[in-house]
Amino acid sequence: MQHFIQNPILPGFNPDPSVIRVGEDFYIATSTFEWFPGIRLHHSKDLVHWRLVGHALTRRDQIDMRGFNNSDGVYAPALSHADGKFWLTFSCTHNSRGGAWMSTPCFVVTADKIEGPWSDPIAIGGGGFDPSLFHDDDGRKWVVNMTWDGRAGHNKFGDITLQEFDAEHRKLKGPRIPVFSGTELGCTEGPQILKKDGYYYLITAEGGTEWNHAVTVCRAKNLFGPYELHPQKHVLTSRFQEDNPLQRAGHGFLVDTPKGEWYLTHLCGRPVYDPEAYGFGPKYGTGFSILGRETGIQKVEWRDGWPWLACGGNAPQLQVAAPDLQQHPWPQSSQYIDHFDEPTLSPQWQTLREPAEASWCSLSQRAGHLRLTGRHYLASRFDQSLLARRIEHHRMRAETRVDFHPESPMEMAGLVVYYDNTNYYFLKITSEDNGKKIVQVCASIAGAYSEPGGAGQKGEKAIIENSDPLYLRVTLDTQWYQFSYSTDGRHWANIGPRLNSTPLSDEYGNLIFKFTGSMVGIFACDVNEQGRYADFSHFSYQQLAEESTVGEPDTVQESVALEVVS
Ligand code: 6LW
């Protein structure tokens, strides 16, 4: 029976995939930017089913991103396996926002097992992001990198270069040798090298990570070139393919199966076309990638010493023939509930810029609960008590149950959908000046704070009489988020208007360098440092079926007074 791989294979914020095979196991590393722990590591036995096995950067002494701007941090890791161990290269980029001379310090970490522990980082210079390590069969290792050139009037994306890496002395040696300056598509980045049948194949991402994105292949008999371009230049792209559900296809690398079939993993996005933003008409280039950049895979065939998409042409396909391998499913992450009864946090969770520490995030202070002690507001780039996971589906529901006893409007806790520290929606439990406990929907779009309340934009609040705990829920139905709450977990009341999902996307606003994706999570704030904490007894995330609806109120429980406050 023919099996298929459904794209994307790593849904939600999982960009810049780097794939390898070690024996019968496939691994993909993806970028994490300002989220901690850094570098997601995924595992598969059949290329169809994938599971998250952990992260490479789990300690503050490996990476410290305090204060980093949105979408700074860990760019494009590249995974390899040689000398009996795993190697990962990455750049910890900062000052990228408007920074002609952005900082791109690059590092190597190693581990004997994919689950780690991963070593302390070894610095391998900067001068460009997206480094990879090529282990030649003569035993020499080369850092393959792009060059970032900040000079006015120059192509910011300079040459792809090779520089030798002396693993024994843990340092670079010799000059940086340019080998490829890219095609006219430009923005040449993400270089990785594969050696096969006497050729070195240099595979790069081109066109920028948005609508023009592509995978470009060239080859040479000699590592230093000259590199000749693939007859099709870009073996994969969704450029100008308005109706392709997989847009932004690019940044790929090749992997073979033990039986000799070949695949190309790649970045892609599934945009939402927002009629409120653009009306109707041609869609090309107008979508919003609310789930961020995801990972897809395509089947590849070799002809005349070149890789080609097996489907013909260079367009990504949603369904791809699976390899001839035993099917190997894992438990589904699309139906996920965390009861916070394990001693450590599930790897699904991420924090902002620094690790979760017991001083503010505790699984032990109250059995079966996650205790978040409030720190800074959600707009901060420091000290946020926030845990979030990726939104992987265009239709999903997340729920939590929380005990929280605020005594001031500056103390708040609740549920958040978060793109970055300027674009997020949240349902907060807080206190009024008169001490009444309320729940309220709040928004920050392009940094502008509001308390949306439907028609006339009056902030809608619900006063909660004698209810602890409270249940909070957010539902996404592609275009809209809707918050709701309950006092018993059975009867739910919608609160606030439906909220447009597209401002929480890579494409919203005029900023470039937006690289992450939407997350859903829980948070607590207490800027007065009163030690106010929120106890969460569970968090669930579930993919919803196509026919689900958002915005239809369920039964409102009688003991809950709803009021609209102007
Ligand atoms: C990454 C580059 C890219 O470093 O986007 O899509 C940059 N490709 O290769 C950020 O992910």
pTM: 0.95
- pLDDT recorded at residue 433: 93
CA-to-CA dists, residue 452 to 67, 182, 561, angstroms: 29, 47, 18
CA of 187 to the centre of ligand 1 (A): 10
- For ligand 1, atom 8, the nearest C-alpha belongs to 209
Ligand 1 close to Cβ of residue 251 (< 6 A): yes
Ligand 1 close to Cβ of residue 307 (< 6 A): no
The per-residue DSSP string of 20-52 comes to EEETTEEEEEE--BTEESEEEEEEESSSS--EE
If one residue of 14, 18, 31 were mutated to test the ligand 1 pocket, choosing by the most ligand atoms within 8 A of its CB, it would be 31
- pLDDT recorded at residue 98: 65
- 3-class SS of residue 87: strand
Residue-wise pLDDT tens digits, 224-264: 999 999 999 999 999 999 999 999 999 999 999 999 999 99
Ligand 1 close to Cβ of residue 31 (< 6 A): yes
Element (H, E) at 562: strand 561-564
Where are the strands (E) in 279-410, listed by range? 294-303, 306-309, 319-321, 335-338, 351-352, 361-362, 370-373, 385-390, 395-404
What CA–CA distance (Å, rounded) separates 461 from 442?
10
Catalytic residues: 16, 189
Measured from the Cα of 248, ligand 1's closest atom is 6
Judge whether 229 and 184 are in contact, CB under 8 Å. no
Ligand 1 close to Cβ of residue 215 (< 6 A): no
Measured from the Cα of 213, ligand 1's closest atom is 6
User: 335-565 architecture in CATH?
Assistant: Sandwich (2.60)
CA of 224 to the centre of ligand 1 (A): 24
Query: Which residues, given as ranges, of the chain have pLDDT below 50?
Result: 551-566
Judge whether 92 and 71 are in contact, CB under 8 Å. no
Judge whether 416 and 34 are in contact, CB under 8 Å. no
Ligand 1 close to Cβ of residue 492 (< 6 A): no
Measured from the Cα of 130, ligand 1's closest atom is 4
- 3-class SS of residue 162: strand
The tokens for 273 are 């076309």
Residue-wise pLDDT tens digits, 521-562: 999 999 999 999 999 999 999 999 875 555 444 433 332 333
- For ligand 1, atom 3, the nearest C-alpha belongs to 209
Cα–Cα–Cα angle for 344, 292, 522, nearest 5°? 40
Ligand 1 close to Cβ of residue 253 (< 6 A): no
The structural domains of the chain, with segments of one domain joined by +, span 4-321, 335-565
Topology of domain 4-321, CATH: Tachylectin-2; Chain A (2.115.10)
- pLDDT recorded at residue 483: 97
What is the dihedral sign for C-alpha 536, 538, 543, 544?
negative
State the DSSP code for 13.
Answer: S
The tokens for 256 are 């073979």
Ligand 1 close to Cβ of residue 189 (< 6 A): yes
- pLDDT recorded at residue 467: 74
Q: Of 525, 417, 539, 390, which Cα lies nearest the Cα of 469?
A: 539
Q: Is residue 233 exposed (0-12), middle (13-18) or buried (19+ Cβ within 10 Å)?
A: middle
Ligand 1 close to Cβ of residue 205 (< 6 A): yes
What CA–CA distance (Å, rounded) separates 551 from 401?
21
Residue with tokens 């109706």: 243
- For ligand 1, atom 5, the nearest C-alpha belongs to 209
CA of 100 to the centre of ligand 1 (A): 16
- 3-class SS of residue 491: coil
Q: Of 357, 381, 348, which Cα lies nearest the Cα of 55?
A: 348
